[in-house]
Chain A
Amino acid sequence: MIQYAAIVLIVLGIYGLLTNRNVLKMIISINVMEVGLNLFIISVGYVTDGFAPILSSVHNSSALIYVDPLPQALVLTAIVIGVGTTALGLALAKNMYNKYHTLNLDEMRDE
């Protein structure tokens, strides 16, 4: 049931993307969406009372119950790509501000 909280985060990000006209707020909305999606993917692999999928001196056998490691590996990839896209978006926003001296899309006009 807690997975629906992650879906709330995703649609919250979409709502922010639809209603905001400020470039920085749009980038933050994309990030909120991404966090919700990552949480959702992680939650699909959760097993009640499962251990973190790392063999150690305490949990030393692969016969124990572990949570699904595959969604975690996929989310690791997604986080890194999120960092890359956010950096690119922020660089675009910086260039926009240097040219138009505003971050609001409605106020940007051709000189």
Chain B
Amino acid sequence: MKNFLALVLVLLLSAGIIITLQNNDLFPVFGEAQVVNRVSDHYITKGSTQPIIWGETTDAEDGAANIVTSIVVNYRSFDTLGEVTVLFVSAMGVALLLSSGRTSKRLALNFKPNFMLRVGSRALFGIILMTGVYIILHGHLTPGGGFPGGVMIASSVLLLYLADDEFRSKIKGFKVLEGVAGSLYVIVVLLGLILATYFLQNFLPTGTVGDLFSAGILPIVYILIGLKVGSEISGLIDNFLTEEEAA
């Protein structure tokens, strides 16, 4: 009976959504979105009347070749500052809920890892870590950026946890790194207020679109975000994989 009521409710809700969308001029047909009429047009053309050419245009309003990155870290950086704060608060909540104090031990594995598994996972750890760092560094040129790269770094820590029964990450180091990276992010965006005119302003020259050293403060901010996200998620993994020592 309860399931039937839920079904009726859900069907009513979906009918309401579909009817609302069908008679709405603001809702585009799939594939026919008019980007020119939207604010996104400014992000794609970077506010200039001349087309932006990859590898040629210099000193554009925003020098990132990846337009999504230019929105996330430049045009709507305030959004990202809030997002990083939300992630920090949730990581802190998990640490509070699962805090195991000083006498914590990691979860035991069901098997004894042999030599090959331990050495192989160490080798793979380096490769995954380097891929994560590469993705963070090229966040303004290629798909990816601080958030996926940070999660990739955390996944390399998870690999060591799963393949080695004696591995225990230095959780205190992660906490320090996270705090330093988060504070540096705020300091860098505050420098925009001091050196230029407003908060979050890109005060460095933006260079040539497509170069590694381009886009002003965007790569710096994304590296800091990557370090922060990587250490935060690694801390989350450590919290979940340790438990209180039975006193």
* Interface residues in chain A, defined as those with a beta carbon under 8 Å from any beta carbon in chain B: 1-4, 7-8, 10-11, 14-15, 18-19, 43-48, 50, 52-57, 59-63, 65-70, 72-73, 76-77, 79-81, 83-85, 87-88, 90-92, 94-95
The reply to whether the CB of B143 lies closer than 8 angstroms to some CB of chain A is: yes
The reply to whether the CB of B65 lies closer than 8 angstroms to some CB of chain A is: yes
* Interface residues in chain B, defined as those with a beta carbon under 8 Å from any beta carbon in chain A: 2-3, 6-7, 9-11, 13-14, 17-18, 21, 27-28, 30-33, 35, 38-40, 43-46, 51-55, 65-68, 71-72, 76, 79-80, 83, 86-87, 89-91, 93-94, 97-98, 141-143, 147, 151, 209-210, 229, 233, 236, 239-240
Please determine whether A91 and B38 come into contact, CB atoms closer than 8 angstroms: no
Residues of B within 8 A of A60 (CB): 53-55
Closest to A4 in B: B18
Given contacts A53-B67, A55-B52, A84-B90, 9 further A-B contacts (CB under 8 A): A11-B13, A57-B55, A61-B52, A67-B33, A73-B68, A76-B72, A77-B80, A84-B86, A88-B90
Residue in contact with A7 in the complex, picked from B3, B18, B38, B45, CB distance below 8 Å? B18
CA distance A46 to B3 in the complex (A): 36
Please determine whether B97 and A92 come into contact, CB atoms closer than 8 angstroms: yes
Please determine whether B44 and A88 come into contact, CB atoms closer than 8 angstroms: no
What 3 pairs across the A-B complex have the smallest Cβ distances?
Answer: A84-B90, A60-B54, A48-B31
Question: In whole Å, how far is A74's beta carbon from the nearest beta carbon of chain B?
Answer: 8
Please determine whether A55 and B80 come into contact, CB atoms closer than 8 angstroms: no
Please determine whether B10 and A18 come into contact, CB atoms closer than 8 angstroms: yes
Please determine whether B65 and A68 come into contact, CB atoms closer than 8 angstroms: no
Using A46-B30, A47-B31, A70-B43 as known contacts, say yes or no to A54 and B239 having CB atoms under 8 A apart.
no
Residues of A within 8 A of B80 (CB): 77
Closest to A85 in B: B90
Residues of B within 8 A of A44 (CB): 27-28, 33
Residues of A within 8 A of B143 (CB): 52, 54
Residues of B within 8 A of A95 (CB): 97-98
Closest to B145 in A: A76
Interface centre among A7, A46, A53 (most CB of B within 10 A): A53
